[in-house]
Amino acid sequence: MSKNVITIIKKELRRFFTDRRMLVSLLLPGIIIFVLYSFMGNMTERMIGVEDDYIYQVVVINEPTELASFHQTAAFDIEVRYEASITDADLLLLEEKDIDLIIFYETDFYQKVLNYDINDGLAPKIELYYNSTKNESSNIYGFYNMAINNFEMTLANRLDINRDANIEYDLATEDDTSIQFITSLLPFLLLTFLFSGAMSVAAESIAGEKERGTFATLLITPTKKSEIALGKIIALSIITLVSAASSFTGLMLSLPKLMGGNVSMAMYGFGTYVLLFIVIISTVLIYVVILSIISAYAKSIKEASSLAVPLMLVNMLVGISSMLGMANESLYMYFIPIYNSVQSITGILSLEIDMINLTITILMNLLVVGLGVLGLTKMFNSEKIMFNK
């Protein structure tokens, strides 16, 4: 790397990291994401959560003694009150959320069930009254509804599915569950963070300097245009990585709260993060090159930002492929820039790394960057483009 390239890199980094407003704009997204997602997680837990020591209030009418076992469960602490009939007072208590459920059995329910024939017409009736706006009421309604459905199936039982309660039939581990969630969300968010960070710094670095008239001074120096282009791209990539790291850190710290503590990152080792970082760097370089070309073409920061919006939408659409589970094993798909990054990031986070596909991704991304540097160099050599003639 030549001395001129290093000088340009230092100049760009000094300008960004010594400007408080720019520094805040780089680090603030991560802080906002952490605060916002943590707040959302806490609020969601409050909205749908139930206190551990909550006692469910259930009113039962005409309950057969054979079905009293419904109330015996370790999952809920249930207090049952027996009544002879449904009263308006009980319905009002349920409406006002003072009780959680009313169960009504028609008279002689159990005997009618045993003697019921499908040709007899309507089956014996159970009515469950609940208040869906109260979490506790919805929870206990779901429990009793499932218990009654299970009871109904035992009446004509011809086979059992997963009968043994002591056997765990779902073999998905905690790591498997975490990986499924992470691979559906993180590639999309990573691409969004990287592109947003690159868009803000690239527009300011080139179009901003053109707008202020300082870029013309740089172009008339003896420094080669290729060195200016390379220096700009490397510096902007470093700045973009700082911005993305801030956002990514904020997201990782807030994920456990957002998901109620059900997400773990313990399955990922140092090697996983190294491979992820390599893919991220190659992706950042592509973003910076493309957005630098747009910024060089634009006459102002506003124009550069406007021209970048369609690319941002395309980038988001590509990122969504990870959320939809649109994995593609075809080798040729890894020759498509950005899309190959999504697939490689998903593979790394899934712990299903294909080194051939990963190598193609890195080499293809670097090839695009090299072509972009050549294109940006030619733009710097064009007075019509650089001086808005």
230 with 336, same domain: the answer is yes
Please write down the long-range contacts of 262-266, taking CB distance under 8 Å and 24 or more positions apart.
262/177, 262/178, 263/178, 263/181, 263/182, 264/174, 264/175, 264/178, 265/178, 265/182, 266/175
Range of the structural domain that residue 77 is part of: 55-155
225 with 91, same domain: the answer is no
Domain finish residue from 99, 126, 155 = 155
The whole-number pLDDT of residue 41 equals 60
The whole-number pLDDT of residue 42 equals 60
Whole-angstrom CA distances from 176 to 211, 351, 382 are: 51, 10, 54
Domain assignment present for residue 114? The answer is yes
295 with 353, same domain: the answer is yes
214 with 338, same domain: the answer is yes
pLDDT in tens, 349-375: 888 888 999 999 999 999 999 998 898
305 with 272, same domain: the answer is yes
Domain assignment present for residue 163? The answer is no
pLDDT in tens, 275-330: 988 898 889 889 988 998 898 888 888 888 888 888 888 988 888 877 766 555 67
Domain assignment present for residue 364? The answer is yes
325 with 229, same domain: the answer is yes
The whole-number pLDDT of residue 363 equals 94
Query: Token pair for residue 341?
Result: 């990054």
192 with 337, same domain: the answer is yes
179 with 225: CB under 8 angstroms?
no
Whole-angstrom CA distances from 240 to 30, 236, 289 are: 13, 6, 12
Query: Token pair for residue 108?
Result: 């002689």
Domain assignment present for residue 361? The answer is yes
Domain assignment present for residue 160? The answer is no
149 with 220, same domain: the answer is no
CATH number at residue 115: 3.40.190
39 with 63, same domain: the answer is no
Q: How many domains does the chain contain in total?
A: 2
Domain assignment present for residue 292? The answer is yes
Nearest to 141 by CA among 50, 62, 46: 50
pLDDT less than 50: residues of the chain: none
234 with 325, same domain: the answer is yes
The whole-number pLDDT of residue 25 equals 66
Count of all residues that appear for the chain in the document: 389
192 with 301, same domain: the answer is yes
Domain assignment present for residue 49? The answer is no
Domain assignment present for residue 16? The answer is yes
78 with 204, same domain: the answer is no
Three-state helix/strand/coil letters over the chain: CCHHHHHHHHHHHHHHHCCHHHHHHHHHHHHHHHHHHHHHHHHHHHHHCCCCCCEEEEEEECCCHHHHHHHCCCCCEEEEEEECCCCHHHHHHHHCCCCCEEEEECCCHHHHHHHCCHHHCCCCCEEEEECCCCHHHHHHHHHHHHHHHHHHHHHCCCCCCCCCCCCCCCCCCHHHHHHHHHHHHHHHHHHHHHHHHHHHHHHHHHHHHHHHCCHHHHHCCCCCHHHHHHHHHHHHHHHHHHHHHHHHHHHHHHHHHHCCCCCCCCCCCHHHHHHHHHHHHHHHHHHHHHHHHHHHHCCCHHHHHHHHHHHHHHHHHHHHHHHCCCCCCCHHHHHCCCHHHHHHHHHHHCCCCCHHHHHHHHHHHHHHHHHHHHHHHHHHCCHHHHCCC
Domain finish residue from 102, 120, 155 = 155
